[in-house]
Structure 1
Amino acid sequence: MLRKMGEAVARVARKVNETVESGSDTLDLAECKLVSFPIGIYKVLRNVTDQIHLITLANNELKSLTSKFMTTFCQLRELRLEGNFLHRLPNEVSTLQHLKAIDLSRNQFHDFPEQLTTLPALENINLEENEIVDVPVEKLAAMPALRRINLRFNPLNAEVRVIAPPLIKFDMLMSPEGARAPPP
């Protein structure tokens, strides 16, 4: 168990160092078995956080992200969090004023993360395969940049299905009622 953890930590450290050394705008920590975002990374990245535009934390075991994560990486353009155990986002997600795309598919959201509706640059929201029933259609309709929202394989209520289409100018992807996601 500890050896496995050690390997995971080493892998994370290697990936973080690659980002710093190459001056990359991407931090890829997908599939690192992370349960939380490692606090030590903030120190290592403190001089380059402004240049990081994409963070991938896909397919980890994250249950939550902290407000510090959001405020530290406020320059993000894209955040990939698919395949975790997230059920909410910190309010500080509202500091991501440049965020264009967020992938929250295959998580455990029961409520639509409404903080996303305050993001002026957000174009693409992926919430496929969550447990979302209700969607703040009016707030989404007011988002200036939104182009597409994927809500496939969510148990959306009938009201959302009826209300949304005439109100929105973006693509809203929904599964037929009662459709089940294909097994992974």
Structure 2
Amino acid sequence: MLKQLWYLEYYGYSLDHYIVTDLAACKLISFPEGVYKVLRSVTDNIHVINLADNELKAVTSKFIATFSQLRVLNLEGNSLTQLPEIIGSMMHLTSINLARNKFTVFPENLTTIKTLQNINLEGNDISELPLEKLTAMTTLQCLNMKSNPLNKEAKCFSQPNMTFELLTTADKE
């Protein structure tokens, strides 16, 4: 990790403009404390974090509070079952990828994020959706629920005033 940051500084990239943090496939079981320390002065400038394909079982409130300016959060391919309540306070988040985790219940705290445009929960084990709360999300454009054992109500859900595309093909049998 530090070698990567040193490499960026060495080649003249300022961390003041560094807005993407890619820690995909690093076998992380939690977000490293050292990364908080290294990035503490630039957390407001980090708009994208990729933590895909790690071994995370939880996202902490500290992580959400520290990176409150995120626009895109990729947590695909971990072992998450829930999100902290504080995630609802992420006022700038537009896209969250939670595909291939271990969710059995739709994380309803996502429905309180007013800027959220894309939610990817493909490949989890979710059977029900909070349809009323989802239709109230005025900025939501796409909800990917492919490869989930959705109940009939969720699979067939459609409303004339629905502002988002609900992807449900290739569902688990």
TM-score normalized by structure 2? 0.90
**Aligned match for 2:63, one of 55, 60, 69:** 69
Could you say which residue in structure 2 is the equivalent of 1:161? 155
Could you say which residue in structure 1 is the equivalent of 2:2? 13
When you count helix as a share of all residues, which structure comes out higher?
Answer: 1
Could you say which residue in structure 2 is the equivalent of 1:58? 52
Could you say which residue in structure 2 is the equivalent of 1:130? 124
Give per-residue Cα distances to partners, 1:116-153, cap 9 Å, x unaligned. 00001100000000000111011010012100000000
CA distance in 2, matches of 1:80, 1:93: 14
Q: Does residue 144 of structure 2 align to residue 150 of structure 1? A: yes
> Percent same amino acid among aligned pairs?
49
Amino acid of the structure 1 residue aligned with 2:140: L
Gaps of 5+ in 1: 1-11, 180-184
CA distance in 1, matches of 2:25, 2:100: 14
SS in 1 for 2:149: coil
Q: CA RMSD in A?
A: 1.7
CA distance in 2, matches of 1:176, 1:26: 31
Contact 1:15 1:29 in 2 (8 A): no
CA distance in 1, matches of 2:8, 2:127: 38
State the aligned residue count.
Answer: 167
Amino acid of the structure 1 residue aligned with 2:58: S
Could you say which residue in structure 1 is the equivalent of 2:37? 43
**1:165 positional shift:** 1.0
Amino acid of the structure 1 residue aligned with 2:79: F
**1:47 positional shift:** 0.3
CA distance in 2, matches of 1:29, 1:46: 16
Change over 3 Å in CA distance of 1:33–1:98 after alignment to 2? same
TM-score normalized by structure 1? 0.85
Change over 3 Å in CA distance of 1:95–1:102 after alignment to 2? same
CA distance in 2, matches of 1:76, 1:18: 23
Change over 3 Å in CA distance of 1:19–1:52 after alignment to 2? farther
Amino acid of the structure 2 residue aligned with 1:160: A
Change over 3 Å in CA distance of 1:97–1:44 after alignment to 2? same
